[in-house]
Amino acid sequence: MSSHEQKLGEANNRLMGLFKADQKSMTAFKSLSDTAVREGKVSTAMKEMIAVSIAAARGCDDCILYHVAEAKKHGADRETLVEVIAVAIEMSGGPGAVYAAKALEAFDNL
């Protein structure tokens, strides 16, 4: 198991702890999340890559790991991710570049 897979597991465990503490809110959040990334005119893989880009722009390590894993699960490719995270860098400057690099590293290691 890679360190990225371990970190993803830890993040998922934290979310499960929150789910157990507040099932009603987390069930609603999960429903929103599932609805937002459903297949449509924009593919689920692309929606997950958009989420990676936003996570990079916002500086959320756990979000990056989760959405990179989901993007890969839905067939996202590295080259498209590189283009999408370039937008995160454009919109958030230096901090976005740091987190975009983390997203690319996660893609390569998950």
pLDDT in tens, 41-82: 999 999 999 999 999 999 999 999 999 999 999 999 999 999
Q: Is the pLDDT of residue 1 over 90?
A: no
CB 104 within 8 A of CB 82: yes
Q: pTM value?
A: 0.88
Q: Check residue 77 and report its DSSP letter.
A: -
Q: CATH assignment of 3-109?
A: 1.20.1290.10
Report the candidate in 110, 58, 47, 59 with the shortest Cα–Cα distance to residue 84.
47
* Number of Cβ within a 10 Å radius of residue 50: 18
**H helical segments located in 1-110:** 3-21, 23-36, 44-58, 61-73, 78-109
